[in-house]
């Protein structure tokens, strides 16, 4: 397994369009697209910065994981994603090293990525996402 870079930082928000104003109007960033990932009950917006992205996440369901996160912890950084060269190998490597996986096999993520999450209880309290995608 090779970790290539920080792919993105996921930020949980209550209102995607309102939050985008800060990133675009204040920070001068540009949203390159919005997408709904129905099986994750989330709507996302992507804001490239350097070689990585900021991913804003708004829940589409009051029972969705982002809504529950905001209810418990408030808006803010929800996860950090690392780009890997081979997600299947990365998952196997994590499991071999005793890391508890939320996803035992890759699933579809926003932006056409194959993703898998590591449980925060195995990663020092940080929700870590592994992401494989074509550039």
Chain segment 83-134, per-residue pLDDT in tens? 999 999 999 999 999 999 999 999 999 888 999 999 999 999 999 999 999 8
Q: Work out the pLDDT band at 135, boundaries 50, 70, 90.
A: low
Q: Which residues contact 41 (CB under 8 A, 6 or more apart)?
A: 59, 60, 61, 63, 64, 65, 66, 67
Tell me which residue of 5, 10, 128, 31 sits closest to 75, measured CA to CA: 10
Answer whether 35's CB lies under 8 Å from 44's CB. Answer: yes
Q: In what order do the strands lie in the sheet with 114-118?
A: 33-37, 42-49, 52-59, 3-13, 76-84, 128-132, 114-118, 107-108
Please give the model's pTM, rounded to 2 decimal places.
0.93
Answer whether 117's CB lies under 8 Å from 127's CB. Answer: yes
Report the percent of the chain where pLDDT is more than 70: 99
In the chain, where the domains are located: 3-132
Determine the topology of domain 3-132 in CATH.
2,3-Dihydroxybiphenyl 1,2-Dioxygenase; domain 1 (3.10.180)
């Amino acid at each position: 397994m090779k970790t290539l870079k920080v792919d993105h930082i996921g930020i949980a928000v209550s209102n995607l369009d309102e939050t985008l104003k800060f990133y675009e109007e204040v920070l001068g960033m540009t949203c390159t697209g919005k997408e709904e990932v129905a099986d994750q009950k989330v709507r996302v917006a992507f804001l490239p910065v350097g070689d990585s992205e900021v991913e804003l996440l708004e829940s589409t369901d009051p029972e969705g994981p982002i809504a529950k996160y905001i209810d418990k912890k408030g808006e803010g950084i929800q996860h950090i994603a690392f780009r890997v060269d081979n997600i299947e190998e990365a998952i196997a490597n994590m499991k071999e090293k005793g890391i508890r996986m939320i996803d035992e096999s890759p699933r579809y993520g926003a932006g056409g990525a194959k993703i898998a999450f590591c449980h925060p209880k195995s990663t020092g309290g940080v929700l870590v996402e592994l992401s494989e995608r074509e550039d």
